[in-house]
Amino acid sequence: MKSFLTKHFILITLTIVTLGSVRFCVLMHRREIGSTLNTVEKICKNGKLRLITSKAVNTYYIYNNKPTGFEYDLAREFARFMNVELDIITPGWSSMFTYLKQGKGDFIAAGLSITAPRLEYLDFSIPYMTVQQRIIHHNLIFTPKDIKDMAFKIFHVRRGTSYHDRLGEIKALGVNLKYVLHNNTPTEELIAMVHDREITFTIADSNIALLNRRFFPDIRIGIPIQERESLAWAVRKNDSEMLKQVNKFFLYATNTGILKRITARYYGNIDNFDAYDLKKFHERIETRLPKYKNIIKEESAKYGFDWRLIAAIVYQESHFDPDAKSSTNVRGLMQVTQTTAKEMGIKNRRDPQQSVRAGIKYLSLMYKRFDYMEDKSQRLLFALASYNVGYGHVKDAMRLAKEKGYDPTTWKGLKATLPLLSKAKYYKQTKYGYARGWEPVRYVERIQTYFDILKQKKAAMTG
């Protein structure tokens, strides 16, 4: 009997269980030797989850030699959920579906919308976002007012996308539009071509359009050409166990707030800027930033800050103007007060190097005050808020967050309670009193946007 079992059965890894905060693949079922492992079993056996994605600002890209991007961050949480390593596979948009079919990856996370043609050869997870296809054009170009106005216009889109499918549907309705198909040109590059007036029209999902408006302020997001669509992850057709595992993760990510946190990180404040503000920022990156770039890089390195983050703070504080002065008598590139200047050991707030040195040193002190926070990105947001409104007011807001049931160590909690410091009902109960608490929220979110732009801006990245 023993030899029979040895010959005909083996124990295999099948699923994920949770004990406290630890998730791991466990031996559960017996299976006959020679039978085929399903995708989830292979992932558990190999200890690797293979993500198929595309390189784009809304999916996955490398910054400072580290991977980042919305889809990447979400997939990384999925790998943690399964307690396995994450492998990234970027075969190019046109090859993603072939790679999945051939088993060269386990799932696709690339901002895919659920469409009828794709449902014929893919299975989709629970949706995580809704978007809408929009016409993208330059602000100097007349925009179509409805679909009929698209007649005789030329649209540039990537082959095999939902945009390609939709333009074909509109043409079939009798609208005599034209379109040029690009094989390997990402949507964000087509948006850049619209911005530079190399082409007139392209199509983009609303989330991609809003993200890229940060980098290309002269584009306009025109009329929708499709009803709202859902974005989801894709698995191989009839790969039921993998689909079940992906859906388990999305339910987990929704219930724990992971999905909301990652969505807010990338999309939380994308529509807070008008075109004029963004255009001015891009102009001043070219005309003013170069004068102070070396100073910012030198001083940032001393304290381990990304120089682009500090540049974003400098712009928010002074628009790269060393003579800037506020109504409250803060001065210089980083708008340092006289008291702070003295504490940080500088004498001339209008001297660019001294101002940047004092500002970074002060930011570093604020950052260290939150060193009990494990999440460094959260620590940084708290430090930025403290730089703007003061550490005491931030502590008051954290206490309010705790009283109201928010996690006081997350930006979500702080963002909800900082504005309450302007209301007598709340600030009378605090140690440091009244504060215009909406200002640090706006301050932090604008710096995040400027930082994102600088990370992507080629001119700023040089050197």
pLDDT tens string 181-227: 999 888 989 999 999 999 999 999 999 998 888 888 889 999 999 99
Residues 112 and 251 in one domain: yes
Residue 35 has a pLDDT of 60
The pTM of the full predicted model, rounded to 2 decimals, is: 0.73
Instruction: Indicate which CATH number applies to the domain containing 358.
Output: 1.10.530.10
Q: Sheet harboring 219-224: ordered strands across?
A: 178-182, 154-158, 201-205, 133-138, 219-224
CATH number at residue 197: 3.40.190.10
Do residues 23 and 164 both lie within one domain? no
Q: For residues 378 and 393, give the distance between their C-alpha atoms in angstroms, rounded to a whole number.
A: 17
Chain CA centroid to CA 179, Å: 30
Ramachandran class of 6: left when φ > 0, alpha when ψ lies in -120 to 50, beta otherwise = alpha
Q: Are residues 98 and 239 in the same domain?
A: yes
pLDDT for res 8: 34
Residues 91 and 184 placed together within one structural domain of the fold: no
Domain of residue 205: give its range: 133-226
Q: Alpha-carbon torsion 413, 419, 425, 426, what sign?
A: positive
Look up residue 450 and give its amino acid: Y
Q: Are residues 29 and 97 in the same domain?
A: yes
The DSSP output letter for 148 is: G
How many other CB atoms are there within 10 angstroms of residue 434's CB atom? Answer: 14
**36 and 85, same domain (yes or no):** yes
Same domain assignment for residues 402 and 366 = yes
Closest CA to 316 of 213, 435, 447: 447
- Cβ contact 318:334 at 8 Å: yes
Residue 14, pLDDT score = 36
Whether 7 and 103 share a structural domain: yes
Domain shared by 317 and 376, yes or no: yes
Determine the pLDDT at residue 395.
97
pLDDT of residue 25: 60
Residue 268: its pLDDT value, please? 76
Same domain, 452 and 356: yes
Helix or strand run (H / E) with residue 87: strand 85-89
Question: How far from each other are the two terminal CA atoms of the chain, in whole angstroms?
Answer: 70
Predicted local distance difference test score (pLDDT) of residue 129: 95
Distance from the Cα of residue 77 to its chain's centroid:
14
Nearest of 402, 376, 385 to residue 446 by alpha carbon: 385
Could you please report the per-residue DSSP string of 209-250? HHHHHTT-TTEEEEEE-S--EEEEEEEETT-HHHHHHHHHHH
- pLDDT tens sequence across 28-70: 344 444 468 899 999 999 999 999 999 888 899 887 778 989 9
Q: Which residues of the chain have pLDDT under 50?
A: 1-24, 26-34, 459-463
Catalytic member of 317, 374, 439, 445: 317
Examine the residue annotation and report whether 283 is marked as an active-site residue of this protein: no
Number of domains comprising the chain:
3
On whether both 236 and 208 belong to a single domain, the answer is no
Q: Which tokens hold the place of 162?
A: 């939902």
CA distances from 4 to 1, 7, 32, 381, 437 (A): 5, 5, 11, 62, 72
Q: Do residues 284 and 391 both lie within one domain? A: yes
Interior CA angle at 97 toward 96 and 102, to 5°? 100
Q: For 360-441, where are the E strands, in sequence order? A: none
